Amino acid sequence: MIPRALTIAGSDSGGGAGIQADLKTFHEHVVFGMSAITALTAQDTTGVHEVHAVPPAFVRAQIDAVASDLGVEAAKTGMLGSAAVVDAVADGIAAHEIAPLVVDPVCASKHGDPLLDDDAIEGLRQRILPLAEVVTPNVGEVAVLTGVEVRGVGDLSRAAEAVLALGPRWALVKGGHLPDNPRAIDLLTDGRTSIHLEAERLDTQDTHGTGCTLAAAIAARRARGESLEDAVHGAKAFVTGAIRHGLRLGKGIGPVDHAWARR
Ligand SMILES: Nc1ncnc2c1ncn2[C@@H]1O[C@H](COP(=O)(O)OP(=O)(O)OP(=O)(O)O)[C@@H](O)[C@H]1O
Ligand SMILES: Cc1ncc(CO)c(N)n1
């Protein structure tokens, strides 16, 4: 039977991030993709123009439908938006024992437009992170979740430890935004094993949706039965290739090419 993965995230009308990036990434991994949409954004490469909330009970109804009928072998969360949606998602994941779960703790877009209410951060910390097999914060999200400021690669392990203290099995802290480093370095750790993932830092502004793509690729590979470490290595290679083959679309921060490997 084809592996099946679920994304619980927001819709990006621009197609580069959110649900759209996740489903494209699942498809590229030959995984059957399903979705529970948490919010609708009117968004493009220049920013998030409007957000339309989805009722929390309807978010839960989407999770209930796919989990009880089609079955979920791995899932990821992205934009959750509000405290009430955080609760609905946590309840749905727990009720269906959905695992393994990849949590991308989305707080804002690459332009800095908010995608999570301030009063939802505590719920993300207390209810979602403990359910995660791996949580994938960038340095801004680490600061929001833990208060740890990452200024250089040397701070990544302290940041990852602070993330692990919130309950996920693994932390993958993304150093892609760190200035003054010629490499895009991320740190994966479960507190015992620490793995630095390195790739060339590509000189492009077109990185819209890279975090979504990385987390979705991890979930797809877990659905296919890869170990967490193999899934993270493979996902890093997938997102690096997608950034390298950026599509140069739109006037702002453009999308990556999810189909790069077969173009
Ligand atoms: N310019 C770049 N060149 C190579 N790799 C990059 C670059 N920018 C980011 N990455 C890598 O892309 C992956 C996603 O990280 P990033 O920090 O962009 O996520 P993010 O900020 O959560 O993205 P978004 O919220 O826009 O989806 C990481 O593995 C990171 O190292
Ligand atoms: C819907 C959505 N989810 C996540 C991100 C983060 O890239 C975004 N820009 N939009």
Q: What is the ipTM of this complex?
A: 0.97
Query: What is the tens place of the pLDDT at every residue in 176-217?
Result: 878 767 888 999 999 999 999 999 899 899 999 999 999 999
From the CA of 199, how far away is ligand 2's center (Å)?
23
H/E element, 249: none
* Cβ atoms of 253 and 206 closer than 8 Å: yes
- In this prediction, residue 177 carries a pLDDT of 76
Tokens of 48: 């998030």
Backbone angles phi, psi at 59, to 5 degrees: -60, -45
What global pTM score does this model have? 0.98
Q: Which of 198, 263, 258 is nearest to 28 (CA)?
A: 258
| C-alpha closest to that of 104 among 233, 221, 235, 215 | 215
Q: What ligand has the least distance to the C-alpha of 109?
A: 2
Q: What angle do CA 46, 137, 17 make, to 5 degrees?
A: 35
Bridge partners (DSSP) of residue 199 are 184
Distance 12 CA to ligand 2 centre (A): 6
Whole-number pLDDT of residue 222: 98
Give the separation between CA 231 and CA 238, rounded to whole angstroms: 10
Helical H runs in 112-191?
121-123, 139-146, 156-164
CA angle, 23 then 25 then 28, to 5°:
110
Does the beta carbon of 232 lie inside 6 Å of ligand 2? no
pLDDT value of position 95: 98
- 103 alpha carbon – ligand 2 mean position (Å): 13
Positions in the chain short of pLDDT 50: none
- Determine the atom of ligand 2 nearest the C-alpha atom of 109: 9
Q: Cβ(25) to ligand 2 under 6 A?
A: no
* pLDDT for the residue numbered 178: 81
Catalytic residues: 174, 207, 209-212
Instruction: Establish whether residue 16 lines the binding site of ligand 2, counting it when its CB lies within 6 angstroms of any ligand atom.
Output: no
Q: What is the pLDDT of residue 88?
A: 98
User: By C-alpha distance, which of 136, 112, 94, 105 is closest to 9?
Assistant: 105
Give the homologous superfamily in CATH for domain 4-244.
Ribokinase (3.40.1190.20)
**Contact (CB, 8 A) for 22 and 212:** yes
CA distances from 137 to 34, 40, 260 (A): 23, 22, 25
> Can the peptide bond before residue 182 be classed as cis, meaning omega within 30 degrees of 0?
no
Tell me the three state secondary structure of residue 154: helix
Ligand 2: does its nearest atom lie under 6 Å from the Cβ of 10? Answer: yes
Domain limits, the chain: 4-244
